[in-house]
Amino acid sequence: MLAVRITKTSLRSFRAVVASAIAPLLISGCVSTSSIPVTTTAGPGGFCADPGCTTGVCATDMTATPGCNSPTGVVCSPDGCGDAACGDVMQCSMTNCEVPRELRKTALPEYRVEAPDVLLIEAANNLRPATAPVLAGEPLLIQVDRTIPVDTAADKVAQAFKTINGPYVIGTDGYLNLGPEYGKVLCAGETLAEIQRRVDTHLRRILTNPQVLVTLPDPTAKQMVAGPHLVRPDGTVGLGIYGGVFVAGMTLSEVKCAVEQHLSAYMHAPEVSVDVLGYNSKYYYVIADGGGAGERVTRLPSTGNETVLDAVSQVNGLPSIANKGQIWIARPQPGCNCPDQLLHVDWDSIARGAQTCTNYQLLPGDRLYVKADRFITFSTNLSKITAPFERLLGLTILGNGTVRTLQQGSSSFGGGGGGF
């Protein structure tokens, strides 16, 4: 029984009060042909009529000036409105766009990477930059002209000691050993240009105007960047020995720029391709009411193409206790105090008549709620109330029966005496 108290107010305010009072009763039959979401929660000023709503009450899409907090709320109209109690100007407008649904789907916004997505990152250019330091254990190709003249009569080892032409490895002590004829040069951790300068300076103490050339036999970087990369819980993606890059909340183009900028310190003009290998961060939820016995939540990955029918098929159909007239989509709002945005689903029309009007496209974060049958809920709640009393009565009956059995047994033993 619903009582509505009507006071002296304008017709406009009266309509808002009535709409907020009867909205929970009519929402199951509201079918909207526009993009205005169907809702069961009234805002501070009630609801606005939707020309595309054939049955029930639909809420409008309201936009307000930031910082405006009206104590009385705003009653919307198709041509806009303002609230006298609000310090800023607030306008309400109707939206004529269609809600995405089967046969009228829309493309999702540009994908933003979040944990735990899996990215496929491949670096096409893997050359080390000229400023990269050469560390101990790395080989160098050194060629020197105008070295000590070679004595053809000497053995091959003596001739090799006087020639500098081949690969040389930087030792663990950081020195580059040029042989017993030329000594060592400290060059670990220096750039290639600095190593050539040091070798040239060292050899000029021994030779006359030598010509020195120091190059890398393998100019590629120390590690290839290629393959799948998991986005960590802290929002970074690991690139092996090159460290990590923060990519959470970025688009693929932004991730590409961030990775290339990070690798530019280890590679020469890196070119990186980035794609999503595993879409693991975008989900929608199917929540089945247990009829007073809890709710079952199923999380399903969102690929951007699912509809209500697809979601129900993923959970093996509706539960046996489901109320087919009480199914809706709850779409999350960016704010904390926004009215609920609910889209009613006409399951019988979707399943039996192949109607697409309420077979909405599910977006990431959507909740598809399946309400249980009201009689099942009533029965479950009633059993919760009566169960303690049933147990007490059961214990009482059991105790009473046990006492009677003991009494009957004692009287049969007492009255059965006799003599010979």
- State the CATH number of the domain containing residue 346: 3.10.560.10
Q: Is residue 204 part of a domain?
A: yes
Task: Tell me: do 148 and 211 sit in the same domain.
Answer: yes
Task: Tell me: do 123 and 258 sit in the same domain.
Answer: yes
Compute φ and ψ for 331, nearest 5 degrees.
-100, 125
**Structurally, how many domains does the chain consist of?**
4
Q: Is residue 105 part of a domain?
A: no
Of 197, 215, 233, which residue constitutes the final position of a domain? 215
Give residue 260's domain range. 118-128+223-278
In percent, the amount of the chain with pLDDT more than 90 equals 51
Task: Tell me: do 33 and 73 sit in the same domain.
Answer: yes
Give the pLDDT score at 412. Answer: 66
Task: Tell me: do 256 and 123 sit in the same domain.
Answer: yes
Give the pLDDT score at 84. Answer: 40
CA distance 158 to 163: 9
313: DSSP letter: H
Task: Tell me: do 264 and 343 sit in the same domain.
Answer: no
Task: Tell me: do 187 and 298 sit in the same domain.
Answer: no
Q: Indicate if the pLDDT at residue 96 is higher than 50.
A: no
CA atoms within 13 A on the CB side of 416: 6
Residue 84, token pair as written in the block: 């006298």
Q: Is residue 418 part of a domain?
A: no
Question: What's the pLDDT tens digit per position in 274-287?
Answer: 999 999 999 999 99
Extract the runs of DSSP E, i.e. beta strands, from 231-291: 236-238, 244-246, 272-278, 283-289
Task: Tell me: do 331 and 290 sit in the same domain.
Answer: yes
Residue that the structure tokens 């980035």 belong to: 274
Please report, for the domain that includes residue 178, its CATH number.
3.30.1950.10
CA distance 410 to 420: 23
Give the pLDDT score at 6. Answer: 40
CA distance 288 to 310: 15
Structure pTM?
0.63
Q: Is residue 54 part of a domain?
A: yes
CA distance 241 to 221: 11
Question: What's the pLDDT tens digit per position in 231-274?
Answer: 999 999 999 999 999 999 999 999 999 999 999 888 888 999 99
